[in-house]
Structure 1
């Protein structure tokens, strides 16, 4: 009876895995069809693609990332010129298999941590002996085998790299808060917190504000996200800086769309987004050259 029960459980698990793989393949097929249709509109010609293999080729041409490095930092403050990064957490994640390949966190020595009440990392702990140089070398190896770096509030995290002991990262970045448009059925805010994102995907959360913790949350979200390939492709599209042309009375429209007041453009509601997403806005906007 025990053997029969184990066989039944094994068969059920195999069927669940097969169903999950089928769902992912069907979704990828629909995604490539959508991309092909968009290319037809752009070029004004009928796409010659017929088979699934040809359509999956589009994903490769769209720079579909194979491995992503989920990254988070803890710092002593907000100013990278006067404050320090004191912890780095990272998870190497394979997109196709939805698998964690490796994970790492390490501390960097600091004299004082003004953000200790937030991250609960006493400065004296960071100065205890540890193989820091080896940790940084391993981190660099994780970066090398990654196609894309993913961070929640990437603008904040990436500004600490290339300073002091941390290496410069010459890879594309995706912000899971700003660059990814999460499915509407998850009922998330335009710029969700890591906690809200985790809860929306049924990921348990706990009261720990450390670098690796947020990486784990994101990895668990990605494992559960059947649309991950499409979301990553869309997130990598070029962004333009937009200024909302909106009245004071209608400012809530800009706020709900993820625009921020007095941020990239002083005295205005602004946000970076792809031209694809720009077309979906319910209010007029103006493109601004943010490289100037």
Structure 2
């Protein structure tokens, strides 16, 4: 009996669940002549969380060809490089990523080569795009001109039965595991998830992601809202922002176009108790997750 047969017997018993090592599929779906676009999944490993103070130490980009309905036809070869930062890599970062100073010594990533590799992409995707985009825009200006999507934030994983948003948790929920926290492996695991039907709806994960990424949203900032209303705002899904940028300091919520008027009416009636003029900003995939909004 081979290992796969043993795994199937264990699963059939109802007492075991078997995770299989990810074997990346080069052609998750068969091409059928449909119109296609080039997607680019990216992942960075860095010396910390702040794109102003910290640096990229590893970058991976994996291109893939997809149909407009979310089917992935082909996964290309990765761009994967290490980079030596100006300061030693903190021990806690090495513990997480497995990348130490000896591995990156003398290594560089040329922004021009990054730009050339990423140029054909019609869409850039990351798992936590709010993190990766801010680092990559500082490193290579091309990424400021690309539309972005986030496989973590723009798919309702909880509604599909998943209990966490980390890539490793989602992979385990989909029945596989992989060697984590190296950029190329993370990209390939995420692409596999995007090419797989979601467990409850049966819709391809990339299909759901594209549906969320394409339309614009509207960011409403409840600037100077009463302090004693903060719990009410949090319960409604508002998040606090005080980071530098064009947006004012305050509680904010992103809504679709249809929900904007209702949200403004709620704020005036329940939060401010009077008519107010609030900042409402249109955000699309070209700006979403960037430092510009």
Structure with more of its chain in helix, by fraction:
1
Residue in structure 2 matched with residue 182 of structure 1 by the alignment: 156
Partner in structure 1 of residue 279 of structure 2? 288
Q: Considering Cα pairs closer than 8 Å and 6+ residues apart, tell me whether 1 or 2 has the greater RCO.
A: 2
Is 1:171–2:146 an aligned residue pair? yes
Matched-pair contact (CA < 8 Å) for 1:203–1:217: no
1:157 aligns with 132
Partner of 1:89: 60
Q: Scaled by the length of structure 2, what TM-score is found?
A: 0.61
Structure 2: gaps (5+ residues): 1-27, 198-202, 269-277, 282-291
Q: How far 1:158 moved relative to its partner?
A: 1.6
1:146 aligned residue: 121
Distance 1:252 1:82, change over 3 A: closer
Secondary structure of 1:161's partner?
helix
1:60-107 Cα deviation digits (max 9, x unpaired): 8xxxx7221011101111222222111101111222352312223111
- Residue 233 (structure 1) shift: 3.3
Match in the other structure for 1:113: 89
Q: Aligned pairs, how many? A: 224
For residues 121 and 75 of structure 2, the distance between their equivalents in structure 1, rounded to whole angstroms, comes to 12
- Assess if the C-alpha contact under 8 Å between 2:60 and 2:183 holds in 1: yes
Answer yes or no: is the 8 Å Cα contact 2:84–2:107 preserved in 1. Answer: no
How far the C-alpha of 1:177 sits from its partner, in A, is 2.4
How many Å separate the matches in 2 of 1:21 and 1:118?
34
Map 1:1-292 → 2, pairs under 5 A: 66-96=37-67, 97-98=71-72, 99-110=74-85, 111-114=87-90, 115-128=93-106, 132-133=109-110, 139-163=114-138, 166=140, 168-169=142-143, 170-178=145-153, 180-182=154-156, 185-188=159-162, 192-200=165-173, 202-206=174-178, 208-225=180-197, 226-227=203-204, 228-243=206-221, 247-248=229-230, 250=232, 253-254=235-236, 257=237, 259-262=238-241, 268-276=250-258, 284=266, 288-289=279-280
Measured against aligned partners, the alpha-carbon deviations of 1:195-221 in whole angstroms (never above 9, x if no partner) come to: 333334x14234621212221221011
**Structural RMSD (CA):** 3.9
TM-score (norm 1): 0.61
